[in-house]
Each structure stands twice: as C-alpha cells, then as structure tokens.
Amino acid sequence: MVSTSLASSTIDHKSYSMRVIETEIEGVVIIEPEIFGDSRGYFMESYSERDFHRLVKPIHFVQDNISRSTYGVVRGLHYQREPYAQSKLVRCVVGRVLDVAVDIREESPTFGRHLAVELSAENHRQLFIPKGFAHGFAVLSDEALFEYKCDEFYHPEAECGIAWDDPKIGIDWRLAKEDIILSDKDKAYRGL
C-alpha cells in the first residue's frame, strides 16, 4: 500500500534550520531545510545536530555514505538485522530519486506499508528512516548522487533485503519495468 500523504502537523519554528513534516508511518519524517537564496545562489544547513535532536530525535550518526547511479537503477530494499539495525537520514544532492521506506517492525500497526517520497537537488528534502525499516530508491533522472547518514556502521554479516517488486508491498517505482537496473544481490532477495 502506497502511503505518500503527509500528516497535518508540521513543526515550523523560526529558530530552527529546518521544518519537520510527519508522515502516516510513525517515526518516518520528511525534513525541509531552510534555504537562504539571493542572486549568487543559496546557502543551507544540510544537517544540524542540535536542531535534529530537538525536532526529530536524539541520534548519533557514525557513518556517511554516497552513491552515484544512473537512470533506472533501483537500490534496495536493504536493512541490517539487530543488533546492527540502522537509522538513516537520506538526501539526493544531484538529480532526482524516488526514496522508499518499508515498515518491517512486526509489532507495528503499519507493518508492510511503505512511504515513497521524491528527493531531489531542487527540493532539498531529506527523509529520516528509523531502525526497523527496509530502504531503497529508484533513480528518476539521468544521474543521481545520493547521500545518507547512518547511526550504525555497515556490517556485511547482518545485511538483508526484500525483493524490490514484492506484490504484498506494491511499490510503484515510477519506472518502466524494462528500464529497471538491479544488482545481482538485489535480484536474489525474496518477499517480506
């Protein structure tokens, strides 16, 4: 079930460098940084630990990653098993992606549901995905540079995934099936 609508409550306070938009899936939030623009271009804080802790949750990020991909690439759906589960703060700094978080918390009322949000260099949006979610994205532009902060280091022995096309989840990746490019690892994942 696609869940892209946003909850009505937002936090928008002048003393913060960002606006937080709650979604229908508890814990997953969209972050819109404040942009200061003029004829020279723009400036923004891409991350403020102080504001993130106050508006989202206290968290300690330990690793930053970046990937470059071309049109049609789908990466995911990935997660790490406990005790190495990761929370992620993700953004697209070049191009456009459809970013997807799938709730895999078995006790959650939204188990198996997903949220899909377009992240782009133009909209500057970020998505915070807490532990207990599988994550993936599809590249909608010719090229995309995708950055993500993680609160746990990568542990290959804990790496898992879910099939990108699991019919129970029903993600519309906004790509023609013949245009989708997957890694061999992502092709081998099974359903939820």
Domain interval for residue 60: 6-188
Domain-embedded: residue 178: yes
Q: Give the CATH number, domain containing residue 146.
A: 2.60.120.10
CA angle 161, 20, 38 (to 5 degrees): 115
Domain-embedded: residue 150: yes
Residue type at 129 in one-letter notation: I
Lowest mean per-residue pLDDT among 10-14, 59-63, 93-97: 10-14
Mean model confidence pLDDT for the chain:
91
State yes or no: cis peptide before 83, omega within 30 of 0: yes
Write out the E strands in 71-186.
Answer: 74-80, 88-94, 96-103, 114-120, 126-129, 133-139, 143-150, 159-161
State the total domains in the chain.
1
Domain-embedded: residue 45: yes
Average pLDDT over residues 164-189: 97
pLDDT tens for residues 125-152? Answer: 999 999 999 999 999 999 999 999 999 9
pLDDT reported for residue 10? 46
Domain-embedded: residue 1: no
Residue type at 164 in one-letter notation: W
Domain-embedded: residue 101: yes
Distances (CA, A) of 84 to 24, 30, 160: 26, 24, 11
Percent of the chain with pLDDT over 70: 92
**Active-site residue list:** 78, 148
